[in-house]
């Protein structure tokens, strides 16, 4: 218990200089700006310009708020085609995709038919395939690759 005044804190000669009692309430010293509010603003009435902060402005200075809007209205561009023309174009594109999908289905059907024929001829002739079926298979494979 060295530095705190002995065992019970009664020996004042052994007590540390910075030690304080339980009843002590410390108050923090205020900063200069908290003590005097007029410092940096030109004195009590704002007259002393030599004591004014560089960033502080007097009350007479009024800045006009500028608007970010400009008076020019944006013009909306009109479409060169009407809605009905766009609808027709869309329907035409849709028809083309349907035709394309049906043509692919037809090619796939042809390919399956030719494969069946090839398998049948293999079974019948035991690996002897006619030149016509080979040409058909090549044609179908080229059509599929092109699309």
pLDDT digits (tens, 9 = 90+) for 56-67: 776 777 777 777
Q: Is 50 in the same domain as 91?
A: no
Number of domains in the chain: 2
Q: Is 95 in the same domain as 133?
A: yes
Please tell me the predicted confidence (pLDDT) of residue 101: 66
Instruction: Determine if the pTM surpasses 0.85.
Output: no
**What is the domain range of residue 34?**
24-54
Please tell me the predicted confidence (pLDDT) of residue 99: 65
Residue 116: inside a domain: yes
Please tell me the predicted confidence (pLDDT) of residue 76: 73
Judge whether 14 and 7 are in contact, CB under 8 Å.
no
Please tell me the predicted confidence (pLDDT) of residue 88: 80
Residue 17: inside a domain: no
């Amino acid at each position: 218990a060295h530095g705190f005044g002995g065992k019970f804190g009664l020996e004042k000669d052994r007590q540390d200089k910075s030690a304080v009692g339980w009843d002590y309430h410390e108050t923090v010293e205020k900063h200069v700006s908290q003590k005097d509010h007029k410092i940096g603003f030109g004195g009590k009435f704002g007259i002393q310009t030599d004591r004014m902060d560089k960033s502080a402005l007097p009350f007479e200075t009024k800045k006009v708020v500028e608007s970010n809007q400009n008076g020019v209205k944006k013009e909306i561009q009109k479409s060169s085609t009407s809605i009905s023309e766009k609808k027709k174009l869309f329907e035409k594109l849709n028809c083309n995709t349907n035709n394309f999908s049906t043509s692919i289905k037809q090619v796939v059907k042809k390919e399956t038919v030719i494969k069946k024929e090839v398998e049948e001829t293999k079974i019948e002739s035991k690996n002897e395939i006619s030149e016509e079926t080979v040409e058909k298979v090549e044609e179908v494979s080229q059509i599929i690759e092109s699309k």
